Chains A and B, each alone.
Chain A
Amino acid sequence: MKITILQLFLHLLLLFGLSPLLSGVIGKTKALFAGRTGPPWLQLYYDIWKLFGKGLVLSRVTTWVFRAGPVVGLAVPVLAALLIPFGSIGAPLSFTGDLIFFIYLFGLARFFTACAALDTGSAFEGMGAVREVTFSCLAEPTVFFAFIVLARLSGSLSLDAMFGQTLAASWHSAAPSLLLILVCLFLVTLVENCRIPFDDPNTHLELTMIHEVMVLDHSGPDLGMILYGAAMKLFVLGALVVRLFLPGTTGSMILDLLLFAGGMLLLAVIIGVVESTMARLRLLRIPQLLVGASLLSFFSLILLLR
């Protein structure tokens, strides 16, 4: 399929424009449950704008690695977003085997974030880095199994085709496997973005933080880049879940776009509901849940191969 400039433009516009809104929707949903007014819908846009206008404080012990962390953390979700279709708008960049590239792009971002945290020399940030890396390495097999199932269903090794037109037909032939995968990918979205059953993005209490602790020393534009990168990461992983949930196409591009945007906002509401109704899991239970998710996705593969 030929990708026009218009599509590429739309892709980037959606990514850059819509991703901070998700956090606003989540915040509003949580506020609704708690009976508060909550922060404005566009709070994250204001935050990022404010941070980009601020100065930067750097610790004397840090090196270039510390500055590289946020940059990579912002660049990786943008690159990854180019590999996946948003709704039925095809991916601008696609080649055979890009699913592995997709997964390890996030591996790269994680490596640099963890290194930047270690670079500050603070034991506290090292602890956060250790947790982040542990949980991600437990979540990675789940993504792999899910992608293998989709690759097998679509007969292709590129993400664009795996999440492409064949998906709707696959729901008729292999609904149980796809349903399991949908649940697993949703869990991965939660753990990779440090949402509540795994980590609480709002806490600044020492023993409950995983991701937040790693970015404590960043300030100003660096922190802005981290916030923007995190919002885009949620958007990219959420886009996979939404595409799996709404596989069809309406034929008209405008309608498809609206459907996709609506799906993303619905996902944000669901995340908000999960965050309001569940408590954070004990740290010991998290690996158990992640291994369970991997096994579930493995089982969906068995079910498909049968």
Chain B
Amino acid sequence: MDNTVNFLLLLVILLNFFILGSSRLVSCIRTVAIQGGMLSLLPVLAHGFSGHTLFLAAGAFLLKGIAIPFLLFKAIRQVRIRREVEPLIGYVPTLILGTLATAGSFIFSDRLPLIAEHSQSLFVPVGLATLATGFLMLITRRKAITQALGYLIFENGIFVFGMLLTEAMPLMVETGVLLDLLVAVFVMAIVMHQINREFSTMNIDKLSSLKE
């Protein structure tokens, strides 16, 4: 059981790298969806079958694996963009930064005073690494949709962290987080549509200059 969990977490990291290095929006969205779907298996695998974990898993799978990717796919179909053209920092430097951040989070979590049962598990480093990847996406990409993806990866990182506390975390909190996420993506999709109609581009740079 423990091995399966660690294997899933390693896959999550590999998907992080893939997202950072890929320029096609469609494959980025698909990867984020796969990542979310895989993460939704974690509560059941890590804490066994119970009503609580099953609900968490089902909720996460429906939202992260199906609903949100569906919305994003719909959004890019509406605005007709296929790839991120010029990120603020190129793909190779972002990949290097991402690897350094991942290495850093592994080293950092070795030094954290964790309780004995968590010190060997990969939850903490993978959670930190995924958070860092989300941050990198938010910082380096120009398009509104890749920003939304960065936000989703960020949330995946929080989800991995939350796995440490699933027993203690009330259902309401988890539901609230997932709902927030859904609403955020909704808003993002609508805003993207509006931006595209006003400026006929998706670059968020345009938003910072004022217009009469």
Tell me, yes or no, whether A151 is within 8 Å of chain B by CB: no
**Contact A176:B92 (CB < 8 A) given known A298-B99, A302-B103:** no
Tell me, yes or no, whether A306 is within 8 Å of chain B by CB: yes
Partner of B17, one of A176, A287, A292, A306: A292
Tell me, yes or no, whether A299 is within 8 Å of chain B by CB: yes
Name which residue of chain B comes closest to A177, CB basis: B10
CB distance from B186 to the nearest CB of A (A): 34
Cβ contact within 8 Å between A299 and B102: yes
Tell me, yes or no, whether A291 is within 8 Å of chain B by CB: yes
A: contact size bracket: 10 to 19
CB distance from B20 to the nearest CB of A (A): 9
Chain A residues in 8 Å Cβ range of B96: 291, 295
Tell me, yes or no, whether B55 is within 8 Å of chain A by CB: no
Chain A residues in 8 Å Cβ range of B86: none
Chain A residues in 8 Å Cβ range of B10: 176, 303
Cβ contact within 8 Å between B91 and A288: yes
Chain A residues in 8 Å Cβ range of B125: 306
Cβ contact within 8 Å between B102 and A288: no
Tell me, yes or no, whether A153 is within 8 Å of chain B by CB: no
Chain B residues in 8 Å Cβ range of A306: 106, 110, 125
Which B residues, 17 to 42, have Cβ-Cβ distances below 8 Å to chain A? 17, 21
Chain A residues in 8 Å Cβ range of B6: 176
Cβ contact within 8 Å between A298 and B21: no
Docked Cα-Cα span, A292 to B90, in Å, equals: 13
Tell me, yes or no, whether B70 is within 8 Å of chain A by CB: no
CB distance from A124 to the nearest CB of B (A): 28
Which B residues, 108 to 124, have Cβ-Cβ distances below 8 Å to chain A? 110
Partner of A302, one of B17, B95, B106: B106
Tell me, yes or no, whether A296 is within 8 Å of chain B by CB: yes
Chain B residues in 8 Å Cβ range of A287: 92
Which A residues, 254 to 306, have Cβ-Cβ distances below 8 Å to chain B? 287-288, 291-292, 295-296, 298-299, 302-303, 306
CB distance from B183 to the nearest CB of A (A): 35
Partner of B103, one of A288, A291, A299: A299
Chain A residues in 8 Å Cβ range of B185: none
Chain B residues in 8 Å Cβ range of A292: 17, 21, 95
Q: What sequence of 0s and 1s flags, for each residue 66-101 of chain B, a beta carbon within 8 Å of any chain A beta carbon?
A: 000000000000000000000000011001100100
Docked Cα-Cα span, A93 to B134, in Å, equals: 49
CB distance from B38 to the nearest CB of A (A): 15
Chain A residues in 8 Å Cβ range of B14: 296
Cβ contact within 8 Å between A291 and B102: no
Tell me, yes or no, whether B13 is within 8 Å of chain A by CB: yes
Cβ contact within 8 Å between A291 and B106: no
Docked Cα-Cα span, A291 to B93, in Å, equals: 10
CB distance from B162 to the nearest CB of A (A): 22
CB distance from B80 to the nearest CB of A (A): 23
Cβ contact within 8 Å between B92 and A302: no
Docked Cα-Cα span, A298 to B100, in Å, equals: 10
Docked Cα-Cα span, A67 to B57, in Å, equals: 66
Chain B residues in 8 Å Cβ range of A302: 102-103, 106-107
**Contact A295:B91 (CB < 8 A) given known A302-B102, A302-B106, A306-B106:** no
Which A residues, 77 to 126, have Cβ-Cβ distances below 8 Å to chain B? none
CB distance from A301 to the nearest CB of B (A): 9
Partner of A298, one of B13, B103, B107, B110: B103
Cβ contact within 8 Å between A288 and B21: yes
Chain A residues in 8 Å Cβ range of B91: 288
Chain B residues in 8 Å Cβ range of A298: 99, 103
Cβ contact within 8 Å between B7 and A291: no
With A299-B102, A303-B106, A306-B110 already in contact, 6 other A-B pairs whose C-beta atoms are closer than 8 Å: A288-B91, A292-B95, A295-B99, A299-B99, A302-B103, A303-B10
A-B contact pairs, 16 of them (CB 8 A): A176-B7, A287-B92, A288-B91, A288-B95, A291-B95, A292-B17, A295-B17, A295-B95, A296-B14, A296-B17, A299-B13, A299-B17, A299-B99, A302-B103, A303-B106, A306-B110
State the B residues within 8 Å of A (CB): 6-7, 10, 13-14, 17, 21, 91-92, 95-96, 99, 102-103, 106-107, 110, 125
Q: What are the nearest 9 A-B pairs in CB distance? A: A295-B99, A302-B103, A291-B92, A176-B10, A302-B106, A288-B92, A292-B21, A306-B106, A288-B91
